[in-house]
Amino acid sequence: MDSPQREWAFLGSSHGFSVLLKRNCSISPKGMICVFAMLAAVTLSIALGFALAGAWLVLPFAGLEVVALVLAFLWTARHAADYERIEFAPGRLCVEVAEGRRLRRHELDRGALRARHAPERGCVVLGVAGAEDEIELGRHLHAEARSGLADALNRTLRL
């Protein structure tokens, strides 16, 4: 799923209460592409200039460097748009988890749901006591904030 649809899913919320948890990325994907294009263009132009002057062995090194840059930026961008969205609706709880290119959406009955902080798993676990199906949330939070999230979820689920 691409970014505009993700954005629409959040903006379209009309349930009055939602929490969006996401990573902080201080540059937009478009900005990152511009930075990469500029670096690659400068490096390859310089290497091309030297190749034309007879020093063609600069070119493979410039190529290797551009590949390293691509890998680094892709690695960073892979999870740049990850998010978890929790929406409360009358009688239901909707959870949307975007991870890399995967988007999972869960609609759960609020009645028996409970959240607990699971430090050993580095997340907040949401599920029905005794049931096997569990949803892991709060991957983008530090331990203290995860504990706070579990408490807030339980309080709101009891409302």
Partner 1 sequence: MSAVVDSHGHGHEHHHDHHGGYSGIMRWITTTNHKDIGTLYLWFSFIMFLVGGAMAMVIRLELFSPGLQWVNPDFFNQMTTMHGLIMVFGAIMPAFVGFANWLIPMQIGAPDMAFARMNNWSFWILPFAASLLVISFFMPGGAPGVGWTMYAPLTVQMGIGMDFTIFAVHLLGMSSIMGSINIITTILNLRAPGMTLMRMPLFCWTWLITAYLLVAAMPVLAGAVTMTLTDRHFGTSFFNAAGGGDPVLYQHIFWFFGHPEVYIIALPAFGVISQVIPAFSRKPLFGYASMVYATSAIAILSFIVWAHHMYTVGMPVTGQLFFMYATTLIAVPTGVKVFNWVATMWKGALSFETPMLFAIGFLFLFTLGGFTGLVLSLAAVDIQLHDTYYVVAHFHYVMAIGAVFAGFAGIYFWLPKWTGRMYDEKLGKWHFWLSTIFINMTFFVQHFSGLAGMPRRVPDYPLMFETWNKISSIGAFGFGLSQFLFLYIVLKAIRSGEKAKDKQWEGADSLEWTHLPSPAPYHSFETQPVIK
| Site for partner 1, rule CB under 8 A | 10, 13, 16-27, 31-32, 35, 39, 42-43, 46-47, 50, 53-55, 57-62, 64-65, 68-69, 72-73, 75-76, 79-80, 82, 122, 139-145
Nearer to partner 1, 82 or 113 (CB): 82
> CA-to-CA distance for 44 and 41, rounded, in angstroms?
5
121 CB contacts (<8 Å, ≥6 apart)?
136
- What is the closest distance, in whole angstroms, from the C-beta atom of residue 125 to partner 1 in the complex? 16
DSSP 16: S
For tokens 């030297």, what's the residue?
50
Task: Name the amino acid, one letter, at 109.
Answer: D
Closest approach, Cβ 93 to partner 1, in A, equals: 15
Closer residue to partner 1 (CB): 27 or 112:
27
| 130 Ramachandran zone, left/alpha/beta (phi>0; psi -120 to 50) | left
CB of 69 to partner 1, least distance (A): 6
